[in-house]
Amino acid sequence: MDGNGRWARRRGLPRIAGHRRGTENLRRVLRAAVEFDIKILTIYAFSTENWGRPEEEVQGLLSILRHMIDREVPELHEQGVRLCHLGRMERLPMKLEQRILDAIELTKDNDRLTLNVAFNYGGRAEIVDAIREIIAEGLPAEEVDEALVSNHLSTAGQPDPDLIIRTSGEMRLSNFLIWQAAYAEFYTTPTLWPDFDKGELYAALEDFNQRERRFGQVPGRSQD
């Protein structure tokens, strides 16, 4: 969800104002996702590298997440949205961690849409954590395969993403789902995240529907 800071700067506002606007925008994107029958939506809210931003901005982002959970989770629960957290809990304030765990528990049985919130998340850190878990379980090397690694990731039990949308014209993954995105389609738009709306999401889906997904095979051959 890139471009919050630029959106604010263009309006002479502090960066945190852009992050607040971006959080508010999530509501309309979620409504559109439900309308378009998207079953799993993952948002990249805060990376492991974002801790290096100015302290005021970091604390502002943590505050926004707290307010978002308090304000939005009851409605999301009513709408049948299941919340999942991707990333590490370490470094998060204890009260915020508990809010996240409570939201996950409250919505765990919902099945209309799964919303993965990647907060304190990094693709490389996720893979490192998976390897550590596998080693801790004492599994022999010959049992390690792609399925085993996938089952130790934050997205265990979920399919790999079909489409990754990057706003604000950026052309990189920025450490996002780097294992899961091996064969995802990539779509970028110059639109800044706070301005990304239902029409923008529809355009991304239309573009995706025109793609020929080969998964490493030659055109026209079965992927079975």
Strand locations in the chain, DSSP E?
40-47, 81-86, 113-121, 163-166, 185-188
Single out the catalytic residue among 2, 4, 25, 120: 2
| Active-site residue, selected from the candidate residues 37, 50, 102, 111 | 50
CA-nearest of 150, 124, 149, 121 to 135 is 149
Letter string b/e over residues 23-58, b meaning 16 or more CB atoms within 10 A of that residue's CB: bebbeebbebbbeeebebbbbbbbbbebeeeeeeee
Please count the residues of the chain.
224
* 4: annotated active-site residue: no
* 151 catalytic residue (yes or no): no
Catalytic residues: 2, 50
